[in-house]
Amino acid sequence: MASPPLLASSALLLLLLAAAAAPNAAVTKDVRYQTLVATPLSPHPYSAPAAVAEDDDVFLGSLAADEGDAASTVDLRVVHRDDFAVNATAVELLAQRLRRDRRRASRISAAVGGRGAAATNGTRGRNRGGGGFVAPVVSGLAQGSGEYFTKIGVGTPATPALMVLDTGSDVVWLQCAPCRRCYDQSGKMFDPRGSRSYGAVDCAAPLCRRLDSGGCDLRRKACLYQVAYGDGSVTAGDFATETLTFAGGARVARVALGCGHDNEGLFVAAAGLLGLGRGSLSFPTQISRRFGRSFSYCLVDRTSSTNPTSRSSTVTFGSRAVGPSVAASFTPMVKNPRMETFYYVQLIGISVGGARVPGVAESDLRLNPSTGRGGVIVDSGTSVTRLARPAYSALRDAFRAAAAGLRLSPGGFSLFDTCYDLSGLKVVKVPTVSMHFAGGAQAALPPENYLIPVDSRGTFCFAFAGTDGGVSIIGNIQQQGFRVVFDGDGQRVGFVPKGC
């Protein structure tokens, strides 16, 4: 017969073994997974669709729109800047994209952190000739070249112009002839002398005063603008009004824009920029009387297919952007009194494998309205989502634990510190990731939105990063496949899964 101490020891040992086994069993059982098709990047040079740069019908005539001046909705086709690449591999394009991304995120952080506040609100610019003037410097973000382009018609008769779409900028501008200094662009340069609808803005006009310090050519009494970007790119010229034409023939008169006669820097292909921010000179604000202040876009997965049609993203302005057929999950916009351009939302948590991550604290992601720091913005021009460092570290650790069955790749890649070797695998089960917002909205991310290929060997990286820069950013990789709705009239942002 066993002695009581021996029985007690045996029972204790069994309890300890059970306790040690229980957590692992629970994780295996309770973690939610979804299937990732593990397609590496192609090692071959990228071949852009031949029609993208030159065929105006790809943009202006291929999508349905209400006809004529009475249109209430406009749809535009959108392409990524990689569609203009020549003889570059997917790996090279990704590396370039991540370098641009790092600069843009740094510039956003500088702007909201105070170092860029003066440039954003308008400062005195250098004299560029004429009768002498003081021009405002409205800070753009990292690179003027942007990530997503669309084509519109400018003037009467309309000159097709390829424009960057940017939710992080307000001023609309394009290159204009005659040009003192201009970069190479796709298509014909707009010449205001040939347009019947072009109108100069007087220095004393309210439109000019919206540029804060309101530059003026004293000889012509013409309002002047200047936009400087964080990478050193700059555009300057006359501030004017002009008619813009969209798909299906919809026309909008008297849109205030910069007509740039002096442009230099790292712009690629585009004729100019269509600012989609929240400021008073942004395109959505200017067209609000007719279309409302709402728009939506859907960005397709850049690696999903080699079919040019399936790569087409779209942007919609007007009633259909937020109509009853749009089954979006909405969260209220948050206002930053120190930075009116950006679209702030309140991210309150993130789930991995179906469970909320305790370390992703709402307090680390909340905007401080007194300082303008903190908070979370939704941005079309930033690729990778960046979270405040404590929140990111908690998210990364939770994902690593839930993905313990995947083979970690030694080291990282660029700004990614968590990568996996999926070589030889065609289908992989990965933990789910969902973002939770104030008001009950959520975005359950497809697997390709957070585990992306970075080479042709089968290395995939967790496409989030940490930041100490004072603002968190939801980037366009995480937005892929969603129709993202910016309801300016209702002051809310919505996410429609599989909305493309």
Catalytic residue numbers, as ranges: 166, 379
Enter the tokens of residue 77: 């086709």
Mention every residue, 6+ apart, whose C-beta is less than 8 A from residue 172: 255, 256, 257, 258, 272, 273, 274, 275, 281, 282, 283, 286
**If we measure between CA atoms, which residue out of 168, 177, 156 comes closest to residue 274?**
168
Bridge-based pairing state of the strands 294-298 and 138-139: unpaired
Q: How far is it, in rounded angstroms, from Cα 298 to Cα 314?
A: 5
Question: What is the rounded distance in angstroms from the CA atom of residue 296 to the CA atom of residue 327?
Answer: 13
Whether residue 370 contacts residue 379, with contact meaning beta carbons closer than 8 Å, is answered with: no
**Distance set, CA 117 to CA 109, 211, 226, 234, 472 (Å):** 10, 15, 16, 17, 17
Nearest C-alpha neighbor of 388 from the set 366, 352, 417, 364? 364
What is the DSSP secondary structure assignment for residue 25, as one 8-state letter? H
Instruction: Take residue 470 and report the two structure tokens written for it.
Output: 């004072």
The greatest distance separating any two alpha carbons of the chain, rounded to the nearest whole angstrom, comes to 112
262 token code pair: 């002096």
Cis peptide before 178 (omega within 30 of 0): yes
CA distances from 394 to 122, 227, 409, 447 (A): 38, 39, 20, 19
User: In angstroms, rounded to a whole number, what is the distance separating the alpha carbons of residues 402 and 45?
Assistant: 35
Backbone angles phi, psi at 95, to 5 degrees: -60, -40
Return the amino acid letter for 322. V
Buried b / exposed e over 127-137, threshold 16 CB at 10 Å, is: ebeeeebebbb
d(CA 445, CA 434): 6
Look up tokens 């991995």; give the residue: 352
Q: How far apart are alpha carbons 365 and 384 in whole angstroms?
A: 17
Alpha-carbon distance of 478 to 383, in angstroms, equals: 8
Name which of 36, 9, 63, 2 is nearest 460 in CA terms. Answer: 36
